[in-house]
Amino acid sequence: MKKTLKSISLAAALSVAVVGCGSGEVANTPDEGIGEEISNSNNNDGKGTKESSKGTLIEFGENFDLNNWKVVLNSWEFNQSVEDDLFSSSADEGDKYLVLKFSVTNNGTEADSFTSLAGSTKVKAMYDDKYEYNHLITMIDGDLSNKNVQPLSTADGFVVIKVPEIVESSSESITLNLKNGKDEIHIKLR
């Protein structure tokens, strides 16, 4: 019985894994100037933060607070697959993975994961201001849903969103939406 449960658990873990090796594409980083300039609104910090009733719009590469987390999006790229030493996964034909690389600091009083199945941070990509894609939970090492971050500790990792290939090749906008509790942040990727 235990052997069957272990086999079922391993099969479930393998079926949940949804990311594999890189495609060799260049990642977008804050230093490359990806994204658009954002005008300052009601602040003089020079960072380009813009607040609205639907959340705060920040510049790519800017540090921000999201509930108990201090977060920065370090880079993003489209890949056909993502992998680690044990698991790999390729996007279906006609799809790509939008891989978002973050540094997150847990300012809460208990260990927590940045993204997970229950609660935590919800990450979505909005394409052309109308198409919405949710983040995936993977078994890949480095996925922030699998990292339990201790209080006052920082972790580097990624979040994966599966999108149609047209999202990569198009010039239409991509905006990242992050929500945790009442806090909501929007980052214009392009």
Structural domain of residue 34, as residue ranges? 2-188
Residue 86 above 60 pLDDT? yes
pTM of the entire structure?
A: 0.74
- Over residues 84-102, the mean pLDDT reads 94
Residue 118 above 90 pLDDT? no
Contact 84, 138 (CB under 8 A): no
CATH number, residue 106: 2.60.40.1240
Q: Structural domain tally of the chain?
A: 1
Strands, sheet with 183-188, edge to edge from the N-terminal-most edge strand: 50-52, 55-58, 183-188, 174-180, 122-127, 131-136, 154-164, 95-106, 69-79, 64-66
- Over residues 94-107, the mean pLDDT reads 98
